Structure formats: C-alpha cells, structure tokens
Chain A
Amino acid sequence: AQSVTQLGSHVSVSEGALVLLRCNYSSSVPPYLFWYVQYPNQGLQLLLKYTTGATLVKGINGFEAEFKKSETSFHLTKPSAHMSDAAEYFCAVSRFSGAGSYQLTFGKGTKLSVIP
C-alpha cells in the first residue's frame, strides 16, 4: 500500500522567507510523487512531479522538490515566499490501477500562510 505523510497541517512564513513543506512517503515500489496546490474555492493545480531521473524537480511559480529515496522524502521548497503562495498544498503518490487509470493518494495537506 502507498501513503504519504505531510508534517505540519499549518505553516506560516514571512514574505521573502524560505518555504519548506515536508512530505514523506511509503511505497513498496518506486513511487511517482506529486505536489498539488489548491487556492481557496478552486480545484487542484499541479506544481511539480517526480517520476524517474533527476531527483531535483523544478515546478511552476519557483517551487522545487527533491526526491530522497534514503529518507523516503519529497519536501517542497521555495527560496522566497510571496503573498500569492498562500494556499493549501497536497503531496500525493500515484500508482497505475489498470485499464489506463491511476490511483492518486493524497496527504492530509498543509496550509501555507504568508505574513506580510
């Protein structure tokens, strides 16, 4: 079974400060990992994904994440927080469920607040 654990349900940072959102995964097979962002009253938007290859993955809006197999982690970072980054962030792990579809298992989410 696959699962993800997001450490910290709420993270507050000052504008311009480093953003670090933590995600650890559990998977019996090589994982496919994703970070999604959800702004208030909106759907989910993909920030970045790790499939194979380079372990440092760059995404949209200046975010990046590093896949560390030894630590079973996929933490999300951004060097300098912007007010517009305030949102809910979900880490997710995917597995192929057959017939061309995928099971996406989400972590519980981390709400990021940015203080002016």
Chain B
Amino acid sequence: DTEVTQTPKHLVMGMTNKKSLKCEQHMGHRAMYWYKQKAKKPPELMFVYSYEKLSINESVPSRFSPECPNSSLLNLHLHALQPEDSALYLCASSPRLAGGEAELFFGEGSRLTVL
C-alpha cells in the first residue's frame, strides 16, 4: 500500500462551522505533513509531525488545529475559518531516510470552500 488517503475530497463550510480533514497512510512513515495550496500556486507547508509530535508549525493561524492520534493518522481541525482559507489541503508522508533524500508521498487533497 503506497497511498495517502484523504477525506473528504470536497468540503463546504460556513465561517462558524467546525469540521475536520482526515489523512491516513499505512506505509509505516513516521513523518506526516499538511500543505495548503491556493489556485495556480505551489503548495505551502503548514505543519509537520514527526513520530506523532508536532515538529514544525509555519505560523499557521490557530483556527487550524492539527492532531496526530497515531502513526498512521493525521487530522486537521477547522474552526471559524475565513473565505480566504478556501484552498486545496494536501496531506503527505515520508519515510525516515538519511539526509534529504526522502520523497514526500502526497494524497489527492481535500478541496475546502468557506462561505
């Protein structure tokens, strides 16, 4: 199994809603990532989890709350979002290898629309 699975594929929410994005991988990878991608732009790193601990937070607003319940799962909890948060949210994972050789395996993304 070489897949990163993201659910839901599409999500529409109001600014007062609370929702969650989910990501799952069964490749034994111990690093997992959330990226945000706006239209016609490259992905931007939001969070990195390594061994289920948050290791990088790229100054993301607190209305985005990541969670890593176990080594296979990564969640992104969403609350009080703004319309400008509408984007494609990509989850990725990577194996632990020396140096920077490890590639990131990406899911297909969750397309979020905030009304």
Given contact pairs A34-B103, A100-B31, A44 touches B43 in the complex (Cβ within 8 A)? yes
The residues in A between 9 and 45 inclusive whose CB is less than 8 angstroms from any CB of B are 31-32, 34, 36, 41-45
Q: State the CA gap A62–B42 with chains docked (Å).
A: 24
Contact A104 B45 (CB under 8 A): yes
How many residues on chain A are close to B (CB under 8 Å)? 28
Bound complex: CA of A31 vs CA of B98, how far in Å? 13
A94 part of interface (Cβ distance < 8 Å): yes
Q: Is B48 an interface residue when CB atoms closer than 8 A count as contact?
A: yes
Q: Is the CB of A102 within 8 A of B55?
A: no
The interface stretch among B12-20, B59-67, B72-80, B104-112 is: B104-112
For B103, the chain A residues whose CB sits under 8 A away are: 34, 46, 49
Tell me the nearest residue of chain B to A103, going by C-beta. B45
Contact present for B100 and A95 (CB under 8 Å): yes
Q: Nearest Cβ in chain B — how far from A45, in angstroms?
A: 7
By a beta-carbon cutoff of 8 Å, the part of chain A in contact with chain B is: 31-32, 34, 36, 41-46, 49, 51, 90, 94-104, 106-109
Which residue, B42, B45, B94, B102, has most C-beta atoms of chain A within 10 A?
B42
Residue of A nearest to B49 (CB): A101
Q: Report the nearest A residue to B4, measured CB to CB.
A: A43
| A102 & B94 in contact (Cβ 8 Å cutoff) | yes
Q: Are A107 and B42 in contact (CB under 8 A)?
A: yes
Q: Assess A101 versus B43: contact at CB under 8 Å? Given A34-B103, A51-B99, A51-B101.
A: no
Are A43 and B108 closer than 8 Å at their CB atoms?
A: yes
> Is the CB of B50 closer than 8 A to any CB of chain A?
yes
